[in-house]
Amino acid sequence: MALERTLTIIKPDGVEQNVIGDVIRAFESQSFRIVAMKMLHLSKQQAEGFYAVHRDKKFFGSLTDFMCSGRIVVMALEAENAIERLRTLMGATNPAEAQPGTLRKQFATSIERNIIHGSDAPETAAFEISYFFGKMEIVG
Ligand code: IDP
Ligand code: MG
């Protein structure tokens, strides 16, 4: 197993529900190391840039409206096998299909408003971390 970094976002619905602490508690209890963190309120253009890979999907307009509808917390996490482990902790995209104990099962309210983002592969993690954080903001 390799030491990996992954990008996570507590989406506007998570910040609105006051579960920032619950999410960070879950990261800490599973020994993810937070190596960068900030709060942002994205513009529509910034949300579209982040989710550019989904630009042809029918939910792209709604997703990017949602992502710029309120404050978000963005973090880079470091751990062994971090990308897959974070995806497991998040649960399925659709909370109706998420396993008990996952963050989406606990807090998500719909397939769109599913409280958290996590990178899905090493290449996307590298792009997503560099989208939000400069070198000096990552405390390795
Ligand atoms: P992921 O966040 O589990 O990786 P993706 O397929 O990458 O899921 O989709 C990105 C985000 O787009 C999801 O987290 C969710 O907020 C939204 N989304 C995905 N599928 C749908 C859909 O069918 N309808 C509405 N929103 C969706
Ligand atoms: Mg994804």
Tell me phi and psi for residue 89, to 5 degrees.
-65, -35
Instruction: Please say if the pLDDT value at position 106 is more than 90.
Output: yes
Q: How does pLDDT run across 80-95, given as a tens digit for each residue?
A: 999 999 999 999 999 9
Q: How does pLDDT run across 35-82, given as a tens digit for each residue?
A: 999 999 999 999 999 999 999 999 999 999 999 999 999 999 999 999
Whether the CB of 8 sits within 6 Å of ligand 1 = no
Instruction: Give the residue-averaged pLDDT of 16-33.
Output: 98
The pLDDT assigned to 136 comes to 96
- Residues annotated as catalytic (active site), given as ranges: 117
Residue 112 to residues 80, 81, 104, 135: CA-CA distances in angstroms? 28, 26, 11, 31
Strand-pairing partners, residue 39, are: 73
**Cα-to-centroid distance, 136 and ligand 1 (Å):** 31
Structure confidence at residue 130 as a pLDDT band (50, 70, 90): very high
Share of the chain above pLDDT 70, in %: 99
- Collect all residues with Cβ–Cβ distance below 8 Å to 46 and sequence separation of at least 6: 68
- Collect all residues with Cβ–Cβ distance below 8 Å to 127 and sequence separation of at least 6: none
- Collect all residues with Cβ–Cβ distance below 8 Å to 19 and sequence separation of at least 6: 10, 107, 115
DSSP state, residue 49: H
The pLDDT assigned to 51 comes to 98
Instruction: Give the residue-averaged pLDDT of 98-111.
Output: 98
Task: List the one residue out of 38, 120, 42, 45 whose CA is nearest residue 73.
Answer: 38
pTM beyond 0.85: the answer is: yes
Instruction: Please say if the pLDDT value at position 140 is more than 90.
Output: no
Whether the CB of 59 sits within 6 Å of ligand 1 = yes
The helix/strand/coil state of 30 is coil
In this structure, the chain runs to a length of 140
The pLDDT assigned to 2 comes to 85
**Cα-to-centroid distance, 12 and ligand 1 (Å):** 14
The pLDDT assigned to 71 comes to 99
Q: Which of 51, 63, 69, 120 to mutate to test the pocket of ligand 1 (most atoms within 8 A of CB)?
A: 63
The pLDDT assigned to 41 comes to 98
22 token code pair:
């619950």
Whether the CB of 9 sits within 6 Å of ligand 1 = no
- Collect all residues with Cβ–Cβ distance below 8 Å to 70 and sequence separation of at least 6: 12, 13, 15, 16, 41
